[in-house]
Amino acid sequence: MFITKKHLDRRTMLRGMGAAVGLPLLEAMIPARTALAATAAAPKQHLGFIYFPHGAVASRWIPKKDGHDFDFPNIIAPLEPFKKYTSIVSGTENGPAISSAVHAIMPGTWLSCVHPRETGADLHAGVTIDQIAAQHIGQDTPFPSIEVATEARNTGGSCDRAFGCSYSATISFRTPTTPLPMETNPRTLFQRLFGAGENAVERKALAKQYASVVDVVRNEATELKRNISVKDRAMLDDYLDSVREIERRIQKMEARDLSSLDLPESPNGVPERFDEHLNMMFDMTALAWQANMTRIFSMMMVGEGTNLTYNHIGISDAFHPLSHHQNDPNKIARLLKIQEYHSTVFAAFIDKLAQLPDGDNGSMLDNSIMLYGSNMSNSNAHDHYPLPSAIVGKAGGAIKGNQHIVAPERTPVSNLMLTILDRIGVQPEDGLGDSTGVIAAV
């Protein structure tokens, strides 16, 4: 018997005129009569770290029951459809994040659990777990990791004389002295992923040549579809449609004519149509995963100390001032609406991953670990216990899911970070931050 099935390299890309479009995992990438697990096309674990500032109202985040029969209070209610993938971890604290300069070091210490030195502009923090992971599982993709956000600059009171501004502007440190900038511009991120121009002059020149990277690679895509299965053709069409849709949304946003407006400089500048901006950044991270451009992303949903308003959900109060609610029930109710909104957007992203196939071993969600949480507990008190933390995803079976884990009181949250690394097969020799061990129940 002859085996005629061809093996398409997992790193195959569609190329043309300076654009390059990565491909999702297709059947044609699996050699004939070869088990998927034994190939380079085998599903691999993906990591996502999604940070929201100003903590969470504990009574509306922490389930009343532990174990598998746990409930979903208001803030995490949007995650209930994904209960089998969800692990709520309560009882943790980030001691190294405790400081009078609360907002100045909050983001930068979340994933490292290392207290930065008080050296002003001279940075010295800890390497974050996304970058530790990137060194181990991110080297076989074009981008070992990507870092995204919705606000471009430090906001509110997020800078401090002793610590500067850098620890508040990112959640990702490649080295103790190298913070990674968070990309906030959807078009820049898109072009970074697909190579469609590095600067304004180049992008303008390229725009005259083509309107879409999909159009540029159309001939290669057509040729490829002649040699793959019906199932692969359908998957490829769906994927390229997703690329087109994001391009359309970016172009629509850029087409706005603001020339008649006298826009003042504002250090707390609120992006127009924040809801669309946030959802688009999530959509592009999903696309980056699907195209195997990266396996790791970090996201700041909103800037630390932000004065962003949430008018699209009926909240005109600025987020940061509202977080200092002074136990006013009306303010807490409005703050809860913002916190529930964040979870709703995250849940929509989870749903997208659940629908993305990842080889023969389930969905992209089945093969992911996502940490969704904050480095603050009670925003009114600026405290760090108990931290809101949710892990979503099964990591190919390495994460149990479907449970509320109540860790011993004030367990270092670094233990949770260390557990995430452990589940992808990474064990730092010196642990992580102030960690004392993994949380076995996860």
Provide the pLDDT for residue 100: 86
Per-residue pLDDT reduced to its tens digit, 14-29: 776 566 677 777 777 7
| CB-based contact 109:115 (threshold 8 Å) | yes
Per-residue pLDDT reduced to its tens digit, 247-304: 765 665 555 454 544 433 322 333 478 998 999 899 989 988 988 889 999 999 999 9
pTM, two decimal places: 0.80
SS3 call for 346: helix
| Mean pLDDT rounded to a whole number for the chain | 84
Spatial distance between the Cα atoms of 349 and 288, rounded to a whole number of angstroms: 13
Provide the pLDDT for residue 43: 64
Return the C-alpha torsion angle 342, 78, 49, 350, nearest 10.
-120
Provide the pLDDT for residue 161: 80
Provide the pLDDT for residue 397: 93
| CB-based contact 9:23 (threshold 8 Å) | no
Instruction: Indicate the domain borders of the chain.
Output: 53-180+273-423
Residue 241 pLDDT exceeds 50: yes
Q: What percent of the chain has pLDDT above 70? A: 81
| Domain 53-180+273-423, CATH number (from 1.10.1060, 2.130.10, 3.40.720, 3.40.50) | 3.40.720
Spatial distance between the Cα atoms of 187 and 28, rounded to a whole number of angstroms: 31
Per-residue pLDDT reduced to its tens digit, 366-419: 999 999 999 999 999 999 999 999 999 999 999 999 999 999 999 999 999 999
Spatial distance between the Cα atoms of 240 and 179, rounded to a whole number of angstroms: 33
**Residue range 183-199: mean pLDDT, rounded:** 74
Look-up of token digits 């502009």: 121
State the pLDDT confidence band at 112, using cuts at 50, 70 and 90: very high
Closest CA to 94 of 440, 371, 429: 371
Provide the pLDDT for residue 38: 47
